[in-house]
Amino acid sequence: MNIGVIGINHNLAPINIREHVSFTDIQKIEAINYFLDRDIEEVVILSTCNRSEIYIQAKNIDEKIKLVEDFYEEFFYAKGIKEYLFSKKYTSAIEHLFKVASGLDSIVLGEDQILGQVKDAHDFSMQLGSSKKIFNKLFREAVNIAKDIKNTTKISHQPLSISYIGIKFLQNKVGNLEGKKALVIGIGKMNRLTMKYLEEEKLDTIYVSNRSHGKVIELESEFKNIVPIRYEDRYKVMNDVDIVISATASPHMIIRYDEMPEIQRKIFMMDIALPRDIDPKINELENIEVYDIDNLKDIHDKNDKKRKELAKIGYEMISEKIIEFTEWLDSIKIDPTIESLNDKCLEIREDTLEYIYRKTNLNNRDKKIIDKMLTSALKRLIREPIINLKQTKDKGKREEYIKLVEELFEL
């Protein structure tokens, strides 16, 4: 089993190192041709923001792994890059690919995006002819096990971001967010995610307020149903909304108890800022419920723990798939012998028919009958050896049997 993977990823290197060894498509073509010219039989390059990995299939795998390590240093003019590189071979390399495709080696455990990136990397290599029988099978199995793990565990359904958990928390409180109205205060990274999730829930209107009003106006081209509200007017829309979500970097509270208007409708407020944006005393007001990140922490921790538990199921499924794949790899070792047997039969058939046709005066019908009878007889001759080859699971016995067949048939 001459399979290896060499590369760099988020587990070993910071982004400034990873981005230095990221492949463009043109660089992939250049690299793949470089490896094919140096007796590496199959190559797939997976290059994303979190990883740059080169999968190879070749004889003398240790020698070829060193070749790839040297390539990284020379191709990217990156002295010292080897201290960040990892390499795996044999079943460890297969296991690594299966984990990567399944999102079990990602920053966010179980994330979905990597599966598409693995597919694209394999497709790219197939188009260049650098993924053949073994890697076509290997990468198909990687995609299949990833889908099986996701369908079995639903691991990617366990939310991890505070923004997402906060929206789902409010959704449970409100019942259904579709057609509702929200006020979002702050437009940092967390609330940009919040607005994305709110859009997915098909809210009617999303009022957005920020100290810098100009930055809010810029969001109108990025999000639908956005209504910019000046920061000083944030209290004025309270009676028009169903939920309020605040996440600013303010060092003090920005929604104060003594400034709240009388609320005529039920409002749920989610404070995902630290320090808090919303005065917890507002909870005492009629029609208002206030929640903060402490209310979400247990959900987040449970989801993270749940993902890790589900990942264990994924690891077990991967172990089973590795056994299946390695058995298949062992089985194809008999392919050259079977091919040689078939070639031997073809050679005997052609020589025999040539001699018969030369020595006799047969019509076309008789020639076809003799051809079919001779072909059938030769197939019957090699059928049992081929069946025995396929059914012999013990590696030692299989190798002995291959040697015996090759000697008997002079292959």
Active site amino acids: 49
- Identify which of 75, 78, 87, 77 has the alpha carbon closest to the alpha carbon of residue 33: 75
Q: What are phi and psi for residue 228, nearest 5 degrees?
A: -65, 135
Using CA atoms, how far apart are residues 84 and 69, in angstroms rounded to an integer? Answer: 10
Handedness of CA 303, 308, 311, 316 (dihedral sign): negative
Amino acid identity, position 312:
K
The stretches of 129-229 forming alpha helices (DSSP H) are 133-153, 162-174, 189-200, 213-218
Per-residue DSSP letter, 255: B
Helix (H) or strand (E) holding 228: strand 226-230
Q: Check: CB of residue 189 under 8 Å from CB of residue 169.
A: no
CB atoms within 10 A of CB 260: 17
| Cα dist from 58 to 3, 63, 139, 169, whole Å | 7, 9, 16, 52
Per-residue DSSP letter, 49: S
Handedness of CA 298, 301, 306, 307 (dihedral sign): positive
CB under 8 Å to 94, separation ≥6 — which residues?
A: 3, 138, 322, 325, 326
Helix (H) or strand (E) holding 283: none
Q: Check: CB of residue 369 under 8 Å from CB of residue 352.
A: no
